[in-house]
Each structure stands twice: as structure tokens, then as C-alpha cells.
């Protein structure tokens, strides 16, 4: 099969990579999205080697569960060992022996096929298109915030970042929180949010400092943490969404002095994300910039790295 394989130094197109061989479901990939984590892996994040990609939609070609065969699916990316304490408590995402699609010890979605356990797969309704389905994994990550924190509609909320994940987080949080400000750097991305009625700002001013009850950091850079510390009020909450390969030291003193609650936030529940797309609660139709075949991966990744780009997808 065709695949994009990362050897730890370079990303390469492979024409005849072996198809997945396992007792898991075999999924033929229809579309796969390039996300910030993929870009960070190319910079050394997780020391990963293998086929990249974890945001996907596809069709089940083989499965022990015959009812799944031929169904269009998306898939949760963490696969637990099913034996440890975390797995027995239903917390496969935190299994110390887990594999993670395209991120940790498991080949991912930038290929013609992938395999996942049947329990990880979610069948899609016809109302969700393939291009919309690519966003289900990051939308689920946005919904994880609502699982971790009891949101208050009166809170002043700041989103630091204006990229694809930040925009999805905004779409989720605005269903509860009424006072949201997005701090970004890119006019074209902020214009989309302004059309949604979101207050936006470029740069942090003195009057913005230490006034927000909740700050969500979604920049993909270490500078986002420092900006979040400037925005959050004493005893406020900061949700950290970025996965960064940088080894830069971060000073946590402001968090201690101001008694800020730091919440690490990663993957999230797929069912609310699927429902949000199916009901039109969240719209992602304007977020895709370009679509490329696997063979044109270099051009695709170069575009995905550009600061003005929201989403690039690959079509195996």
C-alpha cells in the first residue's frame, strides 16, 4: 500500500508498504488531516518512527464484527492493553502500555489502510461528509475541556491561538460561555471568528492582563503558556492543549504565586463530537484549505506549516 513513513529524521513516500496484518478491523482511508501534533513529531516530539496521521475517516474492509464491514467510520486513537488498572477503569487513554495511532508505537492514517480494534471505531451518519469527519478527533479534544471543567456562562474566557484547534475549541465553548475573547496573530483566521460573533484581539494589552476566569492555550508554542499566565486571573484556570517538541524551560512561578489551576487536556469523547457535527451545532466547512494525494506530501506539509493555513488533508 502507499504510505508516508517517518524514519525519525525524514518523512518519505513509500509505494509498497506492507498492509496492516492483525486481528483488528482493517480500515481503508478516505481522508486524513494534518494536525499540529504531526508537525511536532517531525521536530522530534515523542521520538516517533512510523506512519504518521491520526485524524481520519475511512471504510471498514475487514472485521470480526461483520456489521462493521462496509461502514464509514472514524476512530479513537488510543489503544490500551486492557489489563492494567487504567484500562480496567475505562481510562485507556492513560494506559502506561498504550499505543497511539500515528504517535506512539502504532502506524497511523497517512496510508491507504490502517488497523484499529473494533471498539475504537464509530460509525458515521450520512449527514456528516468525509471532509467534516476529519475534524471529529480534534473536536473530541475540544469537548474534553467540558469533561474536565464545569463551565460557567458568566466566566470571562480567553483562547490563546487562532489555528484549527483553537477555532474548534471556540465552537465548543461558546455553546456555554458567553464572554469569549480570542487572542491571535493572523487576520484571516480572526476574520472568520469575527463573523461568528467572537471578540478577537491581536496582542495582549495591559487592560487584558489577569482578568480571565478561564484561559485555553492552543498555540502550539511555548510562548502561548506565557501569554496564558498574563491573561488568567489569580485562582483562575488554564487549560493546556499544545503538544510541543521544544525543550525550552518554562517558569511555573506565576502559576504558583497566583494559585492558578493548570489542566492538561488531550484526547476527548467522540460521541459528543459526532453529534455536534450531525446536528449542525458546530460547522467546519470553511476550515479546509487544500487537499493533496499522498504523493504530493511535501507540498501538503509545507502548506500545513504556514501560519495562515487552517487545515490540509491527504487523500490516499
Instruction: Please report the domains of the chain, with CATH numbers, ordered by start residue.
Output: 3-135+284-315 (3.90.180.10), 139-264 (3.40.50.720)
Residue 248's pLDDT is what? Answer: 77
Report how far Cα 260 is from the mean position of its chain's Cα atoms.
24
* Residue 310 and residue 159 in contact, taking contact as beta carbons nearer than 8 Å: no
pLDDT of residue 220: 85
Q: Measured between alpha carbons, how far is 8 from 132 in angstroms, rounded to an integer?
A: 31
Rounded Cα gap, residues 155 and 306, in angstroms: 33
Rounded Cα gap, residues 288 and 128, in angstroms: 15
What is the predicted pLDDT for the residue at 251? Answer: 86
The whole-angstrom separation of Cα 270 and Cα 74 is 9
The answer to whether 102 touches 32, Cβ cutoff 8 Å, is: no
Strand 72-75 and strand 50-51: the pairing is unpaired
Q: What is the pLDDT of residue 30?
A: 98
What distance lies between CA 158 and its chain's CA centroid? Answer: 19
Nearest-angstrom CA–CA distance, 34 and 135: 10
CB 70 within 8 A of CB 60: yes
CB 46 within 8 A of CB 15: no
Whole-angstrom Cα distance, residue 207 to residue 175? 26
What is the pLDDT at residue 55?
A: 98
Q: Which three cell numbers stand for residue 173?
A: 465553548
Residues of the chain where predicted confidence (pLDDT) is lower than 70: 245-246
Q: Are 251 and 230 in contact (CB under 8 A)?
A: no
What is the C-alpha to C-alpha distance for residues 169 and 276, in angstroms, rounded to an integer?
12
pTM for the structure as a whole: 0.94
Identify the DSSP state of 104: B
Question: What pLDDT was estimated at residue 243?
Answer: 83
Cβ neighbourhood burial of 29 (10 Å; 0-12, 13-18, 19+) = buried
Determine whether 303 is exposed, middle or buried from the number of CB atoms within 10 Å of its CB (0-12, 13-18, 19+).
middle
pLDDT at 111: 98
Count of helices and strands (H, E) across the chain: 10, 18
Cβ atoms 273, 136 nearer than 8 A: yes
pLDDT in tens, 40-64: 999 999 999 999 999 999 999 999 9
The predicted structure's pLDDT at residue 67? 96
| Residue 252, phi-psi category: left (phi > 0), alpha (psi -120 to 50), beta (remainder) | alpha
The pLDDT of residue 222: 87
Cell of 103: 504517535
Quote the CA–CA distance of 156 and 166 in Å, as a whole number: 16
Q: Which helix (H) or strand (E) holds 40?
A: helix 36-42
Amino acid at each position: 500500500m502507499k504510505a508516508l513513513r517517518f524514519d525519525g529524521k525524514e518523512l518519505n513516500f513509500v509505494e509498497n508498504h506492507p498492509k496492516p496484518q492483525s486481528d483488528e478491523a482493517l480500515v481503508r482511508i478516505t481522508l486524513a488531516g494534518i494536525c499540529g501534533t504531526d508537525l511536532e513529531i517531525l521536530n522530534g516530539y515523542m521520538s516517533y518512527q512510523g506512519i504518521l496521521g491520526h485524524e481520519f475517516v475511512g471504510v471498514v474492509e475487514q472485521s470480526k464484527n461483520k456489521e462493521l464491514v462496509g461502514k464509514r467510520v472514524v476512530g479513537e486513537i488510543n489503544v490500551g492493553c486492557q489489563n492494567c488498572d487504567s484500562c480496567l477503569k475505562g481510562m485507556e487513554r492513560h494506559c502506561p502500555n498504550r499505543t497511539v495511532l500515528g504517535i506512539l508505537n502504532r502506524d497511523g492514517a497517512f496510508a491507504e489502510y490502517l488497523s484499529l480494534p473494533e471498539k475504537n471505531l464509530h460509525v458515521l451518519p450520512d449527514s456528516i461528509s468525509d471532509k467534516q469527519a476529519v475534524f471529529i478527533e480534534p473536536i473530541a479534544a475540544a469537548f474534553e475541556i467540558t469533561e474536565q471543567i464545569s463551565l460557567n456562562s458568566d466566566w470571562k474566557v480567553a483562547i490563546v491561538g487562532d489555528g484549527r484547534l483553537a477555532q474548534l475549541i471556540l465552537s465548543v465553548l461558546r455553546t456555554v460561555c458567553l464572554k469569549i475573547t480570542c487572542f491571535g496573530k493572523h487576520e484571516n483566521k480572526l476574520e472568520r471568528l469575527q463573523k461568528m460573533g467572537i471578540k478577537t484581539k491581536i496582542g495582549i494589552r495591559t487592560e487584558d492582563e489577569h482578568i480571565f476566569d478561564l484561559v485555553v492555550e492552543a498555540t502550539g508554542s511555548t510562548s502561548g503558556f506565557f501569554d496564558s499566565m498574563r491573561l488568567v486571573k489569580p485562582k483562575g484556570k488554564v487549560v493546556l492543549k499544545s503538544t510541543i517538541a521544544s525543550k525550552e524551560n518554562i517558569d511555573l512561578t506565576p502559576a504558583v504565586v497566583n494559585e492558578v489551576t493548570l489542566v492538561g487536556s488531550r484526547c476527548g469523547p467522540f460521541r459528543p463530537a459526532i453529534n455536534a457535527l450531525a446536528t449542525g451545532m458546530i460547522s467546519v466547512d470553511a476550515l479546509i484549505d487544500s487537499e493533496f494525494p499522498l504523493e504530493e506530501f511535501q507540498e501538503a506539509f509545507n502548506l500545513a506549516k504556514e501560519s495562515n493555513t487552517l487545515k490540509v488533508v491527504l487523500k490516499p
